[in-house]
């Protein structure tokens, strides 16, 4: 199984490389000895992320999640970067494709499938629901010094 490559790290950042999105099929997430999800990799731990989890996943043509799932307290944001397919939340099915974004509340029972002849590639960001406030929206700090490369 392919491993995430750490490309840089210091006190205030971590950077990793997963390789080309076409190579996501070389990854797999083992949920248990009997259940493995091909084409998926979690990157939050490798990035030392403290407020969210992020995963990258590629569905081969004709494949699907294979199960419904929900969360106790985490919302998920799905960002589709190539391919096309269908997403299901609470029994409602709708199309997704490159450029689609889907937010699902914790209790939403969700699944995704590839209905096309090319890989369906997505990024999923998982974070605690109801945790972003108006104060957070104004959290950025701009500096006046020029950027030096």
Tell me the fold of 5-130: Jelly Rolls (2.60.120)
Contact 86, 95 (CB under 8 A): yes
pLDDT tens for the chain, residues 1 to 149: 788 999 999 999 999 999 999 999 999 998 888 888 889 999 999 999 999 999 999 999 999 998 899 999 999 999 999 999 999 999 999 999 999 999 999 999 999 999 999 999 999 999 999 999 889 888 999 999 999 99
pTM of full prediction above 0.95: no
């Amino acid at each position: 199984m392919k491993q995430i490559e750490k490309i840089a790290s210091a006190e205030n950042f971590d950077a990793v490389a997963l390789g080309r999105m076409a190579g996501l099929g070389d990854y797999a997430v083992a949920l248990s000895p009997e259940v493995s999800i091909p084409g998926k990799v979690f990157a939050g731990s490798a990035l030392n992320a403290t407020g969210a989890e992020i995963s990258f996943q590629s569905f081969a043509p004709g494949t699907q999640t294979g199960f419904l799932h929900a969360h106790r307290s985490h919302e998920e944001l799905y960002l589709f970067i190539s391919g096309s397919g269908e997403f299901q939340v609470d029994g409602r099915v709708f199309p997704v494709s490159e450029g689609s974004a889907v937010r699902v509340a914790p209790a939403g029972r969700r699944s995704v499938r590839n209905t096309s002849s090319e890989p369906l590639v997505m990024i999923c960001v998982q974070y605690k629901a109801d945790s972003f406030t108006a104060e957070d929206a104004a959290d950025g700090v701009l500096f006046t010094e020029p950027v030096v490369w």
